[in-house]
Structure 1
Amino acid sequence: MARKPTQRKVAGKQVTKATMPDGLMNAAPVAYPVADTSITALQVYHNPDRRPSGDGPWSNEADKVAWVDEATGLGCIMLRQKNGTISGYVGVGPEHPLFGFEADAVPVSVSNTVHGGVTYCKSCEVNRFERRAHGKPRQERYTVCHTTWVRTVQDYRTVQTTEDEFHEDLWWLGFDTDHPGDLVPNNRYGEGRKGDVYRDQSFVYANCIELARKLKSLTEKSSNRDIPTCEPLGLPAPTERSGE
């Protein structure tokens, strides 16, 4: 008697979704509304431990947003600090004239571009903390380190994280918003003075963009000096001397 044919079970391809770092809200670039516009955010983090208590302008804000400014191509980050304020950062590569400069060495014309002046100048934290070599790594949700492209991991599109290999180093210039006159939501010394203003993400975003444009202009000026000019120098014509 012939055996009844049986259906062969074909094991499907097992694909495991890559685990995202704690607090990361997007597995691919997303549109993020800010300052009456929309940017393509590479990372959007929520960090409840840094979120101010109670309702306020911070209620609908993320706690870390990383993106690349379209006009300049420079990486930018908005990051909430432990005191509840938001700081802004712009990264430049080794070819930039200010790469490696300390905050107090940044020219005044650049520093004054942002609120309170440039107060932060450091390399990518992934390299500065040597997270692969020593103990517990610094969490991605708090790092000032760039994410510049989208990669594919196990058939899932996901943003680059600072744990990726071959991570290019950048030099970050940043500013904070806890100066006199700024509202500090998690101020341990009290509620601050009457009239203090909370510097929201729209404010920080606008400052990041201005700083990015200023830093980009320095690169363009440096490049122009390297290009030989073909225009006449405008020197006076040689004069004829008698007897020659």
Structure 2
Amino acid sequence: MKRKSKSVPVKTKQREADFLPQEPVNYPIAETSVTALQIFHNPERKPTEDGPWSNEADKIAWVDEETGLGCIILRQKNGTLSGYVGVGTDNPLFGFESDAVPVDISTTVHGSITYGKECEVNRFAQEEHGEPRTERYTVCHIRLTRVVRNYRTVQTTKDEFEHEDLWWLGFDTDHLGDLVPKPGWKNKTKKSDVYRDQAYVYAQCIALARRLKGLVAEPYDENHSSSQLLLPQGEVKNGNR
């Protein structure tokens, strides 16, 4: 049974300087580039020492051009990156939890699919304290352009966005043989462990998007539907068109 979200007070105004630039950004990744609709930097999730993660963003959201499906790369608390692809109600895997996804589809990605949840809008990180999820951590919202410079003043998802009827399937990169950058987590680092960087996670996201799109009978066209997202047109300021 799903819990109802509590109402909490939020700031009514947002400094325009916190959202720059206001248009999609060409973000280089994996010897190519994506039109990033969101780029967030969450320095508290990065290791203090230099590494391949130093110049990476901590949340990137974009729409895969070939499938029209939304994709997200998000850094976790242990410093690793996870990848997600959102599907609409017309996809046969809409509503499937991670352990219910067929094995042949789940194994498309690194370590198999470990995440299957609805859009995180209005979800609360700690319901007992009434603390809503902030946009820089959520798996949702890729229709509005958000490149956040000052993440500490970002409003909550509840105030900024309407609900998106998407179901997100995703994977982690903290399995055996993966390098977990931040110390103190369950995985003990070995010299042979490999850090799964943005280029790697991007490739996995694209592979998953292609696989999920193949489950839908209708060919992709440029008409907006529940599972096909279009890039925003024009300027977006403070979450409003």
Alignment of 1:1-244 (within 5 A): 19=15, 26-129=21-124, 135-149=130-144, 162=157, 163-189=159-185, 192-220=189-217
- What is the distance in 1 between the residues matched to 2:215 and 2:136? 30
Query: Counterpart amino acid of 2:205?
Result: C
Kept in 2, the 8 Å contact 1:25–1:46? The answer is no
Measured against aligned partners, the alpha-carbon deviations of 1:131-157 in whole angstroms (never above 9, x if no partner) come to: 9xx933211101111222459xxxxxx
Query: Counterpart amino acid of 2:54?
Result: S
Larger radius of gyration: 1
Kept in 1, the 8 Å contact 2:125–2:131? The answer is no
Alignment root-mean-square deviation, CA:
2.8
How far is the alpha carbon of 1:111 from its aligned partner?
0.4
Q: 1:183 to 1:129 in 2, by over 3 A?
A: same
What SS is found at the alignment partner of 1:140? coil
How far is the alpha carbon of 1:168 from its aligned partner?
2.0
**Residue segments in structure 2 that go unaligned for 5+ positions in a row:** 1-12, 147-155, 221-241
How far is the alpha carbon of 1:193 from its aligned partner?
1.1
What SS is found at the alignment partner of 2:65? coil
- What is the distance in 2 between the residues matched to 1:32 and 1:92? 23
Q: 1:20 to 1:57 in 2, by over 3 A?
A: farther
Tell me: higher relative CO, structure 1 or 2? Use CA pairs within 8 A at least 6 residues apart.
2
Measured against aligned partners, the alpha-carbon deviations of 1:50-97 in whole angstroms (never above 9, x if no partner) come to: 011211111110000000101000000000000000000000111110
What SS is found at the alignment partner of 1:207? helix
Q: 1:165 to 1:86 in 2, by over 3 A?
A: closer
What SS is found at the alignment partner of 1:143? coil
Query: Counterpart amino acid of 2:51?
Result: G
What SS is found at the alignment partner of 2:74? strand
TM-score between the two structures when normalised by the length of structure 2 = 0.73
Q: 1:100 to 1:85 in 2, by over 3 A?
A: same
